[in-house]
Amino acid sequence: MSKSANDVVITGVGIVTSQGVGVEPHVVLLSAAEPPVTRVETEKFKPYPVHPLPEIDWSQQIAKRGDQRQMENWQRLGVFAAGLALDDAGLKDNLDACGSMDMIVAAGGGERDINVDSLIVDEALKRNDREQVLNEKLTTELRPTLFLAQLSNLLAGNISIVHKVTGSSRTFMGEEAAGISAIETAFFRIKAGQSTHTLVGGAFSAERLDIMLMIEAIQGQATGDWHPIWSRKREDGGGMILGSVGAFLVLESRDYAEARGARIYATIDAIGSDRGSRTDGKLEARLADLAKPAEKLDPAQTVVFSGTSGFHDLVASEKAFLQTKLGEAPVRAYGGLVGHSIEAQFPAGLALAALALGHGAKVPAFDASFEKPMTAGARTAVVTTIGHSRGEGVAVLSAE
């Protein structure tokens, strides 16, 4: 593809998964000859396995203890990953660049105080005036700062405070679709000249009973031991294993990036999203539409980062779609490796794609039962995410 001034290029990657902190361990696993070893916590939230956070020294990206205390792990993880992305792009502490940098964050929220909620629930079970119990307990037990740690837009707010990113600040919500829309919006703003450089991404804290409850309300959680994502069985639960993930990207127009001599990992060539009914072949039809920009890619040099959620029916649909539309290109389902991360799922896929393209990696299979070996280094990449309830997105990227 020919290069032009308003190409949207990825110049910074900030990623934290159970596989490690930052670019380095992820480049190592993407370039390794052997399949990576998954890290799974199976005891703490039994019967639910989860991909836990790696060991993190928060102070590396959140210098002030006071700032760390104002957040719970979801916001900490996002602020941390955002800092990594800025560092990686060479823009950390560049006050001019950060002061004019746009920001779009895909956020969940609502991190609960499990102890306070339990207290209220237990007291309410003993009394008939439940609403009165609520007023009594909430006024006395809630920490004022918790509200801010729960508010969706306060992840972005904390990034502004800690990293001084203040050009603009927008928070998108809506599960996987939030992550898709965040990157898509950033992409089209840069294309149209409405932004020159944007920090975009999301974070998800999986090690939370309140978030597991959301998925288990539709019996979506896998139970027992970890199994590869393409071969999970219905007798082992709903198929989804959540993972704690922080994933941020610095996107720039080629002009802006080249003028400052930035290292470019990859160009985002196309990105599309949609939603709607998933019955009667409609999901497959939408996916086929979204994948059109990927049709001309050379499969031998392409890697598909599939964000499949693990839900049995969706896995089957996605498998069929990948086989028919992108048949020859090797697939890597990163949700099987680091867990499903809802809002961060699509950004995490782009982060991995950027690193694979930036290093021309021959990415090892994450689940060899379905995933073919790569015969050449990746020159182009496709990232897919099918939301666990709704929303679909596909991005196509190419190496420099």
Partner 1 sequence: MSNAYKDHLGRPIVAVTGMGVITSLGQGLEDNWTALTGGVSGIHKITRFPTEGLNTRISGMVDFIEVPAANSVERSYAMARETTLEALAQAGLSGDFNGPLFLAAPPIEPEWSARFELADRSPPSTQPGDAYNRFLAAMREKADPVFHEAVLFGAISERLADRFGTRGLPVTLSTACASGATAIQLGVEAIRQGRTDRALTVATDGSVSAEALIRFALLSALSTQNDPPEKASKPFTKDRDGFVIAEGAATLVLESLEAAVARGARVYGILKGCGEKADLFHRTRSSPDGGPAIATIRAALADAGIDEGGIGYINAHGTSTPENDKMEYLSMSAVFGEHLPSIPVSSNKSMIGHTLTAAGAVEAVFSIQTMLTGTLPPTINYQNPDPAIVLDVVPNVKRSQQVSAVLSNSFGFGGQNASLVMTAEPA
Considering only residues 235-294, where is the footprint of partner 1 by CB under 8 A? 273-276
> Residue 152 Cβ, how far from partner 1 at the closest point, in Å?
4
- Sites for partner 1 among residues 295-324 (CB under 8 A): none
Q: Which residues in 215-321 belong to E strands, given as ranges?
A: 245-253, 266-274, 302-306
Residue 212 sits in the site that holds partner 1 (CB under 8 A): yes
**CB of 230 or CB of 311, closer to partner 1:** 311
Query: Can you tell me the distance from the alpha carbon of 49 to that of 61, in angstroms, rounded to the nearest whole number?
Result: 28
**Judged by CB, which is closer to partner 1: 96, or 131?**
131
What pairing do the DSSP bridges indicate for beta strands 102-106 and 331-333? Answer: unpaired
Closest to partner 1 by CB, 303 or 350: 350
Unique residue bearing structure tokens 């099918």: 386
Q: Which of 6, 135, 231, 324 binds partner 1 (CB under 8 A)?
A: 135
Distance of closest approach, residue 382 Cβ to partner 1, in angstroms? 18
Q: Backbone phi, then psi, for 281, in 5-degree steps? A: 75, 5
Nearer to partner 1, 167 or 299 (CB): 167
Phi, psi of 82 (to 5 degrees): -60, -40
Nearer to partner 1, 25 or 207 (CB): 207
Query: CB within 8 A of 300, min separation 6: which ones?
Result: 328, 375, 376
Q: How far is the CB of 123 from partner 1 (least distance, A)?
A: 10
- Which of 210, 295, 298, 328 touches partner 1 (CB under 8 A)? 210
Give the residue with the Cβ less far from partner 1, 53 or 186.
Answer: 186
User: Residue 144 CB, nearest distance to partner 1 (Å)?
Assistant: 4
Tokens encoding 9 = 């290029």
Q: Which is nearer to partner 1, 198 or 301 (CB)?
A: 198
Which is nearer to partner 1, 195 or 301 (by Cβ)? 195
Of 57 and 280, the one with the shorter C-beta distance to partner 1 is 280
The minimum distance between CB 172 and partner 1, in angstroms, equals 5
Count of CB atoms within 10 A of residue 127's CB?
Answer: 9
Among the listed residues 148, 255, 288, 293, the single contact to partner 1 using CB under 8 A: 148
In this structure, is the dihedral angle defined by the CA atoms of residues 261, 250, 302 and 333, taken in order, positive or negative? positive
Residues 354-383 that bind partner 1 (CB under 8 A): none
Question: Whose CA is closest to 25, among 4, 9, 43, 39?
Answer: 39
Per-residue contact track with partner 1, 178 to 197, x per CB under 8 A? x-xx--xx--xx-xx-x---
What span, in angstroms and rounded, lies between the C-alpha atoms of 260 and 270?
A: 24
147 binds partner 1 (CB under 8 A): yes
**Torsion of Cα atoms, 121 then 126 then 128 then 131, to 10°:** -30
Closest to 105 in 3D by CA, of 134, 129, 77, 139: 77
Kindly tell me which residue out of 12, 49, 347, 393 binds partner 1, with binding defined by CB under 8 A. Answer: 393
Pick the binder of partner 1 from 142, 259, 300, 368 (CB under 8 A).
Answer: 142
Q: Which helix (H) or strand (E) holds 136?
A: helix 130-141
What is the rounded radius of gyration, in angstroms, for the C-alpha atoms of the chain?
A: 21
Shortest approach of partner 1 to residue 357 CB, angstroms? 25
Pairing of strands 8-17, 20-21: antiparallel
Which residues sit opposite 249 in a β-bridge?
13, 200
Restricted to residues 72-131, the positions that interact with partner 1 (CB under 8 A) are 103, 107-110, 112, 114-115, 117-122, 124-125, 130-131
Stretch that binds partner 1, among 29-37, 199-207, 292-300, 391-399 (CB under 8 A): 391-399
Residues facing residue 302 across a β-bridge: 380
Within residues 160-179, the interface with partner 1 by CB under 8 A covers 160-161, 164-175, 177-178
Q: Considering only residues 153, 224, 236, 288, which one is a binding residue for partner 1 as defined by CB under 8 A?
A: 153
Q: Is 218 in the site for partner 1 (CB under 8 A)?
A: yes
Which residue in 192, 175, 191 sits closest to 385, CA to CA?
175
Is 138 a binding residue for partner 1 by CB under 8 A? The answer is yes
Of 189 and 362, CB closest to partner 1: 189
The answer to whether residues 250 and 91 touch, using CB atoms and an 8 Å cutoff, is yes
Q: Say if residues 251 and 268 touch (Cβ distance below 8 Å).
A: yes
Reported as type and span, the H/E element at residue 150 is: helix 144-150
